[in-house]
Every structure is written in structure tokens, then in C-alpha cells.
Structure 1
Amino acid sequence: MHRVTRRQAISQSATCLAGITLLGCNRTDEVVAPVAAARTDIPLRITWVGSQDEADAIERGWSSVSEQAIAINVVVIDRSQSVPSIADLTELAKSSDLLSVPLMMVAELASSESIESLTGDAISVITSDLLPAMRSGVARYGGDTFAIPYAANLPALFFSTNRSEADLALSWKEYGDRVGADWNGKAGEPTTAGWAASMFLWRSIGSAQRWLVSRETFEPTIDDEPYVQALDQMRQTVARYETPRQTPSQIWQRLQQRELAAGITFPTSQANSEAELSAADLPSPESSSQSLASLAFSPWLNAITMSANCRQTDASKLFMDWISGGEGSESTRQMVAPYNAVRSSDASSSLTPYAQWIEKKLGSPVTLPSMQFISAGEYYAALDHAVMDCLDGKSTAAEALASAKSHWQSITKRVGVDVQLRAWRRANGMRA
């Protein structure tokens, strides 16, 4: 049996032959017009929000599987200092074919028509292969496909030793107690500037009945009691860590070096086979909102989008297929996104505990929407600053979240409630 590879399927879907019908002598002949060979010397223009090391790895990996030239413009962002400028990204979209941007930028880029929805058979092949949570929580916006994910940096609770059955069903309070009583502070979670808000939101999943804002009025709900309790519990636990401020990379490295007994993070490099780490669900709130959704993606999760000014649509779709897990991308993805597969055809290719854990997590299409607002970067920065103030003891949890709410209201007043409601409804799967 002849096996058609995924790359061939994408190529066949992306190529159209023009048919011209000629009539004469009571006979209909079909003449197929020749199709000009695609130009591969014109670079595919990619704006990449990330690091130069990632761009270098992509250029090396892509050149080994394709003759299509690429030119990557790297936008380096230190998330502890700032968020990407939406004005800069909107301008860069004018001279780009593809943009790899944080998820929280998709709503505004789509609303300004700087990026376009992804359609056609080639895209259908990719999206139908995405794991359910990646398709519903990242790729889709307003009922349409706007982004193709290539990573899923969901945090797990890692243990550097064999875990017990009790470890599989910890509440956040029990986790905090174990940090102090059993692990002597040798644990950690992402709490540095730029990461604190994401960790706070991950802690809030399952307890908050109203996610981020009201769907009817866009009034912020982040000062509701479940959020206050989640932040206060976070503050108490962070105070027990031997090293209160850590990034995901620092926690991951310390776990592999067996300096920590437990840690909340995701792989940021290839796992050390000798570390023998085990992965489990994050602790759960003591009181649940009964929500079916048990995961939400970080607003900083990067995904590939297509510029409205794209001049090489077919080549762009081939690149999207490759970077999201297409043939020949494995070594590059280990450099750019050493987390897990995001597509069913690549699932179970890794036997690491994290890969097995997250494959199961991504098997459900039910997710909470990310922070896809207009000016989302400003909302995120305000929340991150408030969470940091609480963790630093400068304010109580209630005071910090009240301050964040006030900042959110000011941003909404400037942007407009109706504009934000349309964006938020689209983030929730509606066409607004």
C-alpha cells in the first residue's frame, strides 16, 4: 500500500490545477493548464516573538527539510519587564507572512484585521490533527481558526522521588502544608515578575465561578472571594519556599538536579533520564465551582498566525504544518518547544511522565479562555504587578486584587466596553 505522508497531503491540498474546457466536434476535452513552479528563493517572512536561539534552531531545522527560504525577524521580549507592543506587532504584520505571538495578542490582531482566519483543506488537515484542548483553547477564536499552536506549556506538579497515592489528590492547602512540614521548603512554583499572574490564574482554576470578567458587562471578577482565597493561599505557600522567587526554567533544572523534592513547572529543556521525575495534576481547590473546565493556557503561550498581508499562503501553511509537529521537525521542536506533542499524530511519541500526563490533559476540548482582550498586555501587567505586591507583603490579597480590578476598569473605560465584550465573546467561542 502506498503511504501518503502528512507533508504530501498538505502539499496536495494547497495546490490547485486550473482546468480549461474546450468544445468542438461534439467532444469535450479537458486541458489542464500548467502550473508555474512555486518560487522558493523569495523568503517566507516570519516575525517571531521569542529568542534568537529559537530562530536559529528553526532556520537550521527548516533548511534540512525544505528549499523554501525564510527570513525571521526576532522580537525579543523580557516578560519580567514588559509585554509585546501591539502597535509594533500590527506594524510588523504589514511586512510579514507569519507571526508567532503570545496568545493574548491574537484578539487585537484579529480585530484590527492584521491577521486573517486560516481556511482551506491544508489548514483542515492540521487542525483536525490537533489535540482537542489545543484546537479549542488555542487555535479557535470566535468560531474560526486564527492560530496554530506548536507548544503547550501547562504546568504539572513534579516529584523528584516516588510519589505516594496521597500526592495524587492534594488540595492547595495540603500542598502548602507539605512544603513546610515534609519538604523543608525545597519546592517551588513560578513566582517571578511576568510569571506570577499566570501561576495565580492556574491556581484559580476550579474555584472561580466567574472567569476573569463578566460576559454580560465586562466588569472584572478577579476580586471575587475565590480569587482572593487563591491568592492568599499562594502568598502563604510562597513564604515557605526556600527560594521564594523562581522561574519555570530554574525549577525544572533544580528538580532534575534533585535539589527540590517537588515543584510546579513544565519542561524547559530535554529531561535528564536519570532524574526519574514523576508528574501529577496541580493541587485542587478545597471548594470547587463545579466547572467542567480544568485547564487554561497562559496568555503568554505562543502560536503561529498568518498576516493579512501574507504573500506566500501555500508556503506559510507548509511551515505551520512543520513547526506544529510535521515531519522532520522533532529536533527543532526539542529546542523551541521541548514540552510535548500538540497533535494526535505525534502523541505517545515520548514516554516521559510529563508527555503521558499532558497528552491526557489535552484530550478534553473543554478549556477556559485565555486573556484575549483588546490591550490584553496591559491587563496582564496590572494583574502581575498586583500579585507580586501581595507576595512581597506590600498588600493583602484582597487589596492587591482590588487594585488590579481598578486598573482593569480604567483600561476598559479607555478601550470601550462594547469593544471588549465583542473580543471576550469571541474568546468564549461566540462569533460576537
Structure 2
Amino acid sequence: MAPLFFVAMGLIVATGCRDSAAPAPVATKASAPAAAIQLTVLVAGDEELAEGLRLLRGEWKARSGGELSVEAITLDDLQKAEPLAGDLVIFPSRWLGALAEHSQLRPLRESLLESPELGLSDIFPAIRNGEMKYGGQTLALPLGSPPLLVFSRLDSPDQMAGSQWTPPLAGRAAAYTLLARAISYTESPQRADALFSAENMTPRIGAPPFVRALSEIKEETSAPDDATPVDFASGIQAVRSGNAVATLGWPGLLREATQPVDHPADEAAAFSPLPVAEQVYSQSQADWENQTFPQPVTLLGVEGRLVGACQSSRNAVSAFKLCQWLASGDIAVQLSSRSWGTLWFRASQARVYARWAGGQAAPDSSTPVTKVVAEALAVETPVMVPRVPAIDEYMDALAEAVRTAEPGEEAVNAALSEVAAKWEAITERLGRDGQARAYRRHLGIDVLEAE
């Protein structure tokens, strides 16, 4: 029996040794590195910004490991694209409502808005609490939005009147020139919805503030019939070269000079806020009244650029990171300052304001342009060009009337009545209920439902 016992024990020990031995390594395939994410940014109506963004592709790749594709598109392309074939889109700020109403943008996440890297509180209040929001949601980050300002000779006693006052009347600028003056004649509580009724989108363009404003513009600009209207950039050039006393514009246009300026007037011109009217039209009294506490006007949406994440993007996390990167720090300065349609939009950027102003410094005898801009953008509730679908079509109809109306109150009333009829036709074509809802969301009355 003993031999059998030892044989059995040997088998048990041998078996136990095999079971307790370390298992043989299993051959596995090496895990592939995560694929680099390629993001596509659509830049609508601003080739300068598109080119500036292309120059940042290498820096973004070094930071994130991902590729960046930049596609410049026209505003017509932006209007027709459904859905947007990109991850981010840069667009004129007045187009925010049109994109939101077609569900083209993702609302920005609270974690992004609260991140120290973004520095939301550094963004001027008029942009932070006004232009970035639509229907109660924050849908985009700013790349700069210039308030409309007066650019004038410092020795001019009356900046906005007389034969040498040069209002920009070329293209859509004519509509904004009228809007800036008419809003100053409107009571502060009614300024935000001065153009339309918030209830049903009925035009208010024939109201007394607009009649007075257009009548004054026609009286002050009795130019020959063959005179070519100037745009904002040309008006700035006229003041700098001594051919005009005052015009409207913003500092970013100083870099748009078509020829070198070498004139004493260039050193004696500066930016200032839009003038405050002595009188406003009281709706309750149906009459003109002197302002007891005059309120300045901040008008946004003439230009300005926003960047938002496309609803169609499959790379939302990366898209939000890129969005924040473009609107923050030195990158925001590098990118935003390339466009004439932007301006510094953070308090911290004022120290490098010359990047936007073409290296121009404000004359010593004037209020610093940084202070003028800061005060204009310090308001919580700016007047914004209505951010509704087809806003450019509405403004084009108004601009044409501003240019072609004959002087005199009767002719002005007739011209504005024709504008109202054209606006009604646009609203009916697009759908009155939808346009009125978009207008209320623009005003912050109605909420944009989350997708």
C-alpha cells in the first residue's frame, strides 16, 4: 500500500503545483491612441476673422492635439444651411435670433460659463447680459461688438448738425444712422422695442421720434443728387482728412483708411458717445417733453461677432472648449482685433485697445476712447438691433427710404409709411406668429425652449 500512497501524493502535489502556477500571459493587441478630433469652424461674412483663425490652427493643435478646419462662408450660405455643416460658427451678432429660431446653436453649458478660464465677469455688461443672450439662454460667446459712436473734430461746437456733418448713408448704414438718432428721442423704457410691437410685430417706424429724426437728417444732408453716400469707414476717413466735422462709427474703422492720413484734423478728432436729446416723445402725453434725467443711448448690433457651438456637431465637448479658447486671453485679442467689425469686449483688453484701432491713440485733450467704450458697454440693457429672422431685409428697406425720402415732414411720413408696409409684407411672408415670438425672445420676454 505504501508505494500506491506515495504515487497518489505525488500526483496531488504535481497537480497542485500546476494549478497554483502563474497563468501564462495572454497576448493582447496594443490599444490604439485616441484619434485626434478635427473641428470645423464656419466663419460667416468675415474673411479677416477666417484668416486670423487659420493662423491659430497650429497653436490649437499643440494645445489639444486636434485639427482645425476653417471655412469662410457668405451670409447667404449661412441663411440657407440647415443644418450647419460645422462644429462652431462665427457670425454677426444680429443674426443670433435667426440661428436660434432654426435650432442651429447649442446653449452654452453652465460649467463653461462659470469656469475661471472664461472669466465671464470680465466681459462688459452690455454684451454679457444683453448680446450673448436670447430667449433667456446664453447661446454664444463674444468676439467683440462695437457700440455706435460719434467721431468728430474736437473743435466742433455742434457735432451733429450743419453741412459738414457727414451721416453714413451707404448701404445698411443709413438705417442705423436713423435708428441711432430716433432712439435718443424715445423714452428710455420704450427704447428696446421702439421698432415693433412686442405683441404682434406691428411696425412702429412711423412714430414721432422716427419722423423727427429722418426730417432732421434730410435737412442736414441736402447733397447734390449725384453725390455718393458714404459708409461708416468713408465717413471716418472724411473727418480725419478735414473734409467733414463729424460722423458715426467705431474705433475699429480707423484701420480701414483707404489712403494714408496726413492732416491736422486727424490729430484733433476723437470718439464720443451718441448725443443725448434734450427732448423725448412721451407716449402717455402724446407730446414732446424735456428730459429730466437724460439717458445716453448704447446701440449694439450694427456690427459685432459671436461664436457658438453648432447643434449638429458630434464633438460638443471639444467644440465648447474651442469656443472658450477663442473668446479668452491673448487668443481673443489676436483673433478679434483682425476684424473691423469687432472691438475690445473685456475690461482687461483696454490696455491693448490699439490692436483694434490700427495703432491709433486718442488725442491728449479728449476723453480716452477706452473710457468712452467702457461707459457705453457698462449698461445692463443696451438697445440692440432686433435679432429676428431676416433682420437685414428689414433694415435694407429702411435704409433705402432714408436715402430716397424727400425733405419735409409730409414726404418723410409717406416714406416711413412705405417702410411699414414693406415690413408688414416681410413679416407676413415669414409668419407673423413666429416673427413676433422671435422678437419677444430677443427682448427677453419669452423663453427659448431647450432642445
TM-score range, shorter chain: 0.7 to 0.9
Structure 1 residue 97: Cα displacement:
0.9
Cα distance 1:299–1:154, how it changes in 2: closer, same or farther (>3 A)? closer
Query: Which deviates further from its counterpart, 44-53 or 418-427?
Result: 44-53
Which one-letter code corresponds to 1:419 in the other structure? G
Task: Tell me the residue number matched to 2:98.
Answer: 108
* Structure 1: stretches of 5+ with no match in the other structure: 1-35, 78-83
Structure 1 residue 236: Cα displacement:
1.9
1:355 pairs, out of 358, 362, 370, with 370
* Structure 2: stretches of 5+ with no match in the other structure: 1-31, 282-290, 354-360, 363-367
Task: Tell me the residue number matched to 1:341.
Answer: 344
CA distance in 1, matches of 2:422, 2:146: 28
Cα distance 1:232–1:107, how it changes in 2: closer, same or farther (>3 A)? same
Task: Tell me the residue number matched to 1:88.
Answer: 80
Root-mean-square deviation (CA), in Å? 3.2
Matches within 5 A, 1:125-164: 125=115, 126=118, 127-160=120-153, 162-163=154-155
1:423 pairs, out of 414, 417, 438, with 438
2:321 corresponds to 1:303: no
Task: Tell me the residue number matched to 1:70.
Answer: 68
CA distance in 2, matches of 1:424, 1:150: 23
CA distance in 2, matches of 1:331, 1:243: 38
CA distance in 1, matches of 2:255, 2:176: 23
Structure 1 residue 258: Cα displacement:
4.2
Cα distance 1:366–1:403, how it changes in 2: closer, same or farther (>3 A)? same
Q: Is the contact made by 1:293 and 1:368 (CA closer than 8 Å) also made in structure 2?
A: no
Task: Tell me the residue number matched to 2:39.
Answer: 44
Query: Which deviates further from its counterpart, 255-264 or 211-220?
Result: 255-264
Which one-letter code corresponds to 2:231 in the other structure? T
CA distance in 2, matches of 1:105, 1:240: 33
CA distance in 1, matches of 2:339, 2:133: 22
CA deviations over 1:247-278 (Å, ceiling 9, x no partner): 12222334344443332211224498994332
Q: Alignment partner of 2:194: what SS?
A: coil
Percent sequence identity over aligned pairs: 22
2:346 corresponds to 1:330: no
2:185 pairs, out of 202, 207, 220, with 207
CA distance in 2, matches of 1:115, 1:147: 8
Structure 1 residue 202: Cα displacement:
1.4
Query: Which deviates further from its counterpart, 274-283 or 218-227?
Result: 274-283
2:252 corresponds to 1:281: no
1:231 pairs, out of 211, 214, 227, with 214
CA distance in 1, matches of 2:172, 2:413: 20
Task: Using structure 1 for the length normalisation, give the TM-score.
Answer: 0.76
CA distance in 2, matches of 1:391, 1:72: 46
CA deviations over 1:227-246 (Å, ceiling 9, x no partner): 11111112222326996611
2:170 pairs, out of 180, 184, 192, with 192
Query: Which deviates further from its counterpart, 261-270 or 346-355?
Result: 346-355
Structure 1 residue 304: Cα displacement:
1.4
2:105 corresponds to 1:122: no
Which one-letter code corresponds to 1:302 in the other structure? R
Q: Is the contact made by 2:143 and 2:332 (CA closer than 8 Å) also made in structure 1?
A: no
Q: Alignment partner of 1:189: what SS?
A: coil
Query: Which deviates further from its counterpart, 209-218 or 130-139?
Result: 209-218
Which one-letter code corresponds to 2:121 in the other structure? S
- Please identify the structure whose Cα radius of gyration is greater: 2
CA distance in 2, matches of 1:105, 1:368: 15
Which one-letter code corresponds to 2:378 in the other structure? G
